[in-house]
Amino acid sequence: MGDNHRRAVTIIRGGILVALIFLIIYGYVYWCKPFQGSWNDIVVDLFDAIAVGLTAIAATAVWRRYRKSEKLYSIWRFFTFGLYAWLLADLIWAIYNVTVVEVPELSFADLFYILGYCFIFIALHRQYRLLFHPTPRRDAVTTGMLAAAVFLLSLLLTPLVADLEHESISLAELTSIFYPIGDLAIVIVALIFVDKFGRGVFARPWLGLMVFTIADGLYAWLYQSGNYAFSVLQANLGSLVADTLYNTAYLTLTLLLINHYLLLKFGPSVVGDFGKIKKQVFANPLETKPD
């Protein structure tokens, strides 16, 4: 147990150190522009893709901890698919950014961003059914109310962020506001699940999406106000904060997923977690016992 504990602590601390170095280098390239021409943008976009890719890989590791016969297998599969969809979206966004600089307000990348949310909401829905065993009617009502709430809140908040000179709300404006609202909906649902996830420890990967709410909200506001810098050559403090928060969100989620993986592999009594976890967490039959 001692060796496993030290190994787990080393992995977590090493991950935090790597994440901090990653963000420092990212911020330096973004603000100081050490390379010539468009190479600064290429490096920044590459860092964005790496952050998303690391998260998807960490989620894959958690997903593969489960056997196909286990109910949580399909939940983590959809969660992982959602992250890979976001990775594809970021790569497409980067191609737009490198080739045309100013990415269209609504582009092909948004198709994969939205697809990612669909996968993650499917994962949440399956987790909800597994935890609460709702009747078909209650399941339909709860799902419908959540979807309606996300849509209506996005619709109501769009005029506050978008160009108020427009007489109508465009699909692109509505889509950009949907992202932080979608993040917030995921976090709220995860908070409801906290009690069922072993005092919250197994809900942390879901709660890690809370940072996305801030990052996506700031990006939407900067974009709609015309203050977002698509090239680091025109970088401003707001864009630097928004993009750094975006990467911070993915790196935070990656660390939480790694912690989740270690908990499944070694058990909370070995890992110790970022906080304090009781052995009784594995009384929850929904989780796989450690090796």
The answer to pTM > 0.75 is yes
Q: What pLDDT is attached to residue 163?
A: 56
Show Cβ contacts of residue 125 under 8 Å, excluding neighbours closer than 6 positions.
143
Q: What CA–CA distance (Å, rounded) separates 225 from 181?
A: 18
Residue ranges in the chain whose pLDDT is less than 70: 1-2, 161-169, 194-204, 206-208, 268-291
Q: How many whole angstroms separate alpha carbon 114 and alpha carbon 91? A: 15
- Per-residue model confidence (pLDDT) at position 282: 30
Phi, psi of 97 (to 5 degrees): -65, -40
Domain definitions of the chain by residue range: 2-283
pLDDT of residue 281: 32
CA 176 to chain centroid, in Å, comes to: 16
The answer to whether residues 281 and 273 touch, using CB atoms and an 8 Å cutoff, is no
Q: So what's the pLDDT on residue 268?
A: 62
The pLDDT score that the predictor gives to residue 195 is 62
Residue 54: the pLDDT is 95
